[in-house]
């Protein structure tokens, strides 16, 4: 008996592009499916319209999420996702603009844009898929590479302290800051679901494993071992404090929602300004 | 008698595991995360040469959907 082969999420995915380009065992696919499940939940509850979602991606493995989803999507130059997303949001304020990118794309090359989006509390949802290395270009050191780790460009161990994205986002006034992990897809889906309903900037750092490039440098190339190594380092907490957001490969990572407030975003301020100028 | 045994087997297999074999990349995450360990690598290969997962005993599936949630390639789901 032939069974109709259709995944429940096939309606949101460009199935003609499957299988994806990602390496076997790459957890970016889990981030994508968790995000699609959260969007599906929002759409089924009538809180979000399918034609009002826009994806913006840059360059990198994780930015390819924008290519595989069946929504409006743009891919732009390396690191310039946030300026483009800002423009889209100002022109189409009713759209939910979702920025996807890796740690190198958003924190290193687009780091300055991230600072100013956080400062403005721009109404975007920024997903940083953090695999702790530049994966697509061959394993160079990135701002989030843990201390003392061997990479292609640090053959004697990384001497730089890594960037803690959570602390950065909390200090600059984002509305929603959370850390998730691709090894815990249920929690990730809940975080995405919450973030989709927020106004102002929602920043989600998603830890992901990279068995091919990051795994080669730490000596774990097996996809399952790489997945389980990351899963063992994750601690789940309900309302973690900011001090627990410490980013350390040896001590492990605490995932959860670090900041959740409801300040007016940039679009609210902009519409108030327009109203005062027009006089109605 | 035969009809009765059929009914029993249908009642026991509550969850159906569907594998879209052409999308699988043999990473093995679904096999590891399964709490009742019923998934295993097939002896058959798909057109790209990957051994996709098969369920050894579908009746023991508890329907937790961890394999579906943890699959990066949308290749497995539970009906």
Is B71 in Cβ contact with A29 (below 8 Å)?
Answer: yes
User: Nearest-CA neighbor of A55 among A87, A91, A81?
Assistant: A81
Is A185 in Cβ contact with B25 (below 8 Å)?
Answer: no
Q: Give the integer Cα–Cα distance in Å for A163 and B54.
A: 42
Q: How many CB atoms lie within 10 A of CB B5?
A: 9
Q: Give the helix/strand (H/E) hosting B17.
A: strand B17-19
Judged by DSSP in three states, A120 sits in helix
The CATH number assigned to the domain with range B2-78 reads: 3.30.70.20
Domains of chain A: 22-278 (3.40.50.970)
Contacts of A24 in chain B (CB under 8 A): 25-27, 50
Helices (runs of H) and strands (runs of E) counted in chain A:
10, 8
User: Nearest-CA neighbor of A270 among A90, A75, A83?
Assistant: A90
What is the rounded radius of gyration, in angstroms, for the C-alpha atoms of chain B? 14
Going from N- to C-terminal start, the domains of chain B cover 2-78
Judged by DSSP in three states, A196 sits in helix
Q: Which residues contact B6 (CB under 8 A, 6 or more apart)?
A: none
Residue B4 has a pLDDT of 53
pLDDT in tens, B23-34: 898 899 999 999
A176 inside 8 A of chain B by CB? no
Residue B2 has a pLDDT of 53
A41 inside 8 A of chain B by CB? no
Is A228 in Cβ contact with B74 (below 8 Å)?
Answer: no
Eight-class DSSP state of A112: H
Rama region for A228: left / alpha / beta (φ>0; ψ in -120 to 50; rest): alpha
Residue A80 has a pLDDT of 92
Residue A4 has a pLDDT of 53
Contact A91, A65 (CB under 8 A): no
pLDDT in tens, chain A (280 residues): 444 568 888 899 998 888 889 998 899 999 999 999 999 999 999 999 999 999 999 998 899 999 999 999 999 999 899 999 999 999 999 999 999 999 999 999 999 999 999 999 999 999 999 989 998 888 899 999 988 888 889 989 889 999 999 999 999 989 999 999 999 999 999 999 999 999 999 999 999 998 988 888 888 889 999 999 999 999 999 889 888 888 888 888 999 999 999 999 999 999 999 999 988 7
Q: What is the sign of the dihedral through the CA atoms of A183, A189, B41 and A208? A: negative
Residue A1 has a pLDDT of 42
Contacts of B20 in chain A (CB under 8 A): 5, 7
User: Nearest-CA neighbor of A165 among A174, A156, A152?
Assistant: A174
Which residue in this structure is represented by tokens 């189409």? Answer: A92
pLDDT band at B7 (very low <50, low <70, confident <90, very high): low
ipTM entry: 0.84
A202-207 and A176-181 beta bridge pairing = parallel
Pick among A2, A19, A36, A41 to test the B interface (most B CBs inside 10 A): A19
Contact B51, B79 (CB under 8 A): no
| Shortest CA gap B49–chain A (Å) | 12
């Amino acid at each position: 008996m032939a069974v109709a082969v259709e995944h429940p999420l096939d309606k949101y995915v460009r199935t003609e592009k499957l299988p994806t380009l990602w390496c076997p065992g790459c957890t970016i696919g889990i981030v994508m499916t968790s995000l699609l499940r959260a969007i599906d939940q929002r759409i089924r509850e009538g809180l979000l319209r399918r034609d009002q979602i826009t994806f913006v991606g840059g360059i990198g493995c994780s930015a390819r999420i924008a290519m595989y989803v069946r929504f409006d999507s743009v891919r732009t130059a390396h690191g310039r996702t946030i300026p483009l997303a800002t423009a889209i949001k100002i022109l189409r304020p009713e759209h939910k603009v979702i920025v996807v990118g890796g740690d190198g794309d958003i924190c290193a090359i687009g780091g300055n844009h991230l600072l100013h989006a956080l400062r403005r509390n721009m109404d975007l949802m920024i997903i940083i898929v953090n695999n702790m290395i530049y994966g697509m270009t061959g394993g160079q050191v990135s701002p989030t590479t843990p201390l003392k780790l061997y990479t292609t460009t640090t053959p004697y161990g990384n001497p730089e302290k890594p960037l803690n994205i959570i602390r950065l986002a909390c200090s600059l006034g984002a509305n929603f800051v959370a850390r998730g992990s691709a090894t815990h897809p249920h929690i990730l889906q809940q975080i995405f679901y919450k973030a989709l309903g927020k106004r102002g900037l929602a920043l989600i750092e998603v830890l992901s494993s990279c068995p091919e490039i990051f795994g080669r440098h730490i000596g774990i190339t097996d996809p399952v071992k790489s997945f389980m190594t990351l899963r063992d380092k994750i601690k789940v907490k309900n309302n973690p404090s900011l001090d627990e957001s410490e980013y350390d490969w040896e001590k492990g990572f605490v995932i959860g929602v670090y900041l959740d407030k409801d300040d007016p975003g940039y679009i609210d301020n902009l519409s108030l300004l327009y109203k005062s100028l027009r006089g109605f | 008698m035969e009809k009765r045994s059929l009914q029993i087997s249908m009642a026991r297999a509550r969850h159906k595991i569907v594998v879209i074999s052409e999308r699988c990349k043999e990473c093995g995450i679904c096999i590891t995360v399964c709490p009742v360990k019923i998934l295993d690598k097939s002896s058959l290969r798909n057109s790209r040469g990957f051994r996709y997962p098969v369920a050894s005993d579908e009746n023991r599936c508890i329907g937790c959907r961890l394999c579906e949630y943890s699959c990066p390639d949308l290749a497995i789901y539970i009906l």
